[in-house]
């Protein structure tokens, strides 16, 4: 439900369900669910403009995933990408984008994937300015789709 509400942009519903999920997952020590709940809490904070809170939740969520490349790491990676771009930390953003594009991740929509792949191609071709531009184009699309 939390992901559905997230993709619909319903901040209060995401907060409600993510808080419940975090409490239950913490009590049962389910790391993957703790991680997703933290990622969703990061999304709420991002949407509310609270970058410090978003970073705290996203980083904790990323650390809680017990296996790198889990399909729902995107829940934590998108807020981290957004934060890195806002803070003009392009190398960090690129690292998170690479993590987002591994085959184990849940597939993103083609338009979003294409922007991210072009971002990586530009970065790998030593065209940092182009990579930054492509990433700035991907962020509003990711927000529109509820990923960020």
How large is the C-alpha radius of gyration of the chain? 15
CB atoms within 10 A of CB 145: 16
Low-confidence ranges of the chain (pLDDT < 70): 67-69
Q: Which CATH architecture has domain 2-144?
A: Alpha Horseshoe (1.25)
pLDDT for 7-44, tens place per residue? 999 999 999 999 999 999 999 999 999 999 999 999 99
């Amino acid at each position: 439900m939390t992901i559905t509400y997230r993709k619909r942009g319903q901040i209060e519903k995401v907060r409600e369900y993510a808080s419940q999920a975090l409490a239950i997952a913490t009590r049962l020590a389910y790391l993957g669910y703790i991680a997703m709940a933290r990622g969703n809490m990061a999304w709420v904070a991002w949407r509310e403009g609270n970058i410090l809170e978003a970073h705290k939740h996203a980083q904790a969520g990323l650390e809680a995933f017990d296996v790198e490349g889990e399909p729902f790491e995107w829940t934590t990676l998108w807020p981290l990408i957004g934060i890195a771009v806002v803070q003009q930390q392009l190398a960090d953003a690129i690292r998170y984008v690479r993590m987002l594009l591994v085959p184990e991740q849940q597939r993103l929509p083609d338009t979003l994937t294409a922007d991210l792949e072009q971002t990586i191609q530009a970065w790998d071709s030593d065209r940092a300015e182009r990579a930054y531009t492509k990433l700035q184009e991907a962020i509003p699309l990711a927000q529109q789709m509820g990923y960020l």
